[in-house]
Amino acid sequence: MVELLDLLVDILCQQGTASECQSFINSYPDPAQQMVFFLFFPMVFLILFVHILGSGISQRTGNTKFTLLVSIAIFLFIIFQGWYHIFLNISRFWFIAVILLGGFWAVLHRMAPASGGGGNVSRGMKNAMGDFVRRKMLDIITKEEEDLRKKIEDRFKKLEGILDTIKKAPPGSEERAAAIMEFRRMCTDLEACIKELSDKGKIGDVKVLNYTRDYWDRYGKLTEKFRKMAE
């Protein structure tokens, strides 16, 4: 499986993007998941994207016989330009997007016949959904969400290190007092990061993706340890 994945990386990740593809693969510990998320999901999305784009170009030329040829050309162009890693990141989200948007689309169309304020609610939900999708796509392309998760993990490691310092420092010492102050400062920073990540799972004011439950649980356990040590 590992050798097959390495071969696929060499084929699909051109123009020096192999390291980014390998990093994506390493984010999934199970070999089966690595294969599915690296090859199957992105390839389904890429083929659909290429087919839609190729069909659109062929229709504009007035000759749909060249749809397959145009689609293959676009597919190869994307691969050899080293853009496959972009579709890797998008594929993490697009199945969720299809489910969410499909569900909201059905709800909004049921709401559409309502008069007066119902139309305003419908338009408001559509705008909120559009903003959500734009934010998610931007996060995927810029890796902002991934960087934020790394930042959160870094803060957790620092808090654990500070707790260890507090535990070892003599009571009443300057080292212990400084560590306690640093722990509180780091807590404020961590809370801001977790809240920022939480906002990325909202459509308007409604939380539809709970990204932060585990983070808050871990944070609660750390602060409880701190409270007992600082007493």
Domains of the chain: 2-142 (no CATH), 145-230 (1.20.58)
Helix (H, G, I), strand (E, B) or coil at 71: helix
Calpha distance 87→122 (Å, rounded): 31
CA distances, 118 to each of 30, 122, 188 (Å):
47, 6, 41
Q: Which two tokens stand for residue 128?
A: 């909120």
pLDDT band at 230 (very low <50, low <70, confident <90, very high): confident
Given this model, what pLDDT does residue 222 score? Answer: 93
From CA 113, how far away is CA 129, in angstroms rounded?
A: 20
Q: pLDDT grade, residue 124 (50/70/90)? A: low
Predicted model pTM: 0.48
Outline where 112-173 has alpha helix (H).
117-142, 144-168
pLDDT at 20 over 60: yes
Q: Cβ-count burial of 65 within 10 angstroms (0-12 exposed, 13-18 middle, 19+ buried)? A: exposed
Model confidence over 29-51: pLDDT tens digits? 888 889 988 998 889 888 888 88
Q: Please determine, for residue 189, whether its predicted confidence score (pLDDT) is greater than 90.
A: yes
> How far apart are the C-alpha atoms of 171 and 168, rounded to whole Å?
9
Q: Which residue has the higher pLDDT, 213 or 100?
A: 213
Tens digits of residue pLDDT in 128-179: 555 665 566 556 555 777 788 899 999 999 999 999 999 999 988 999 999 9
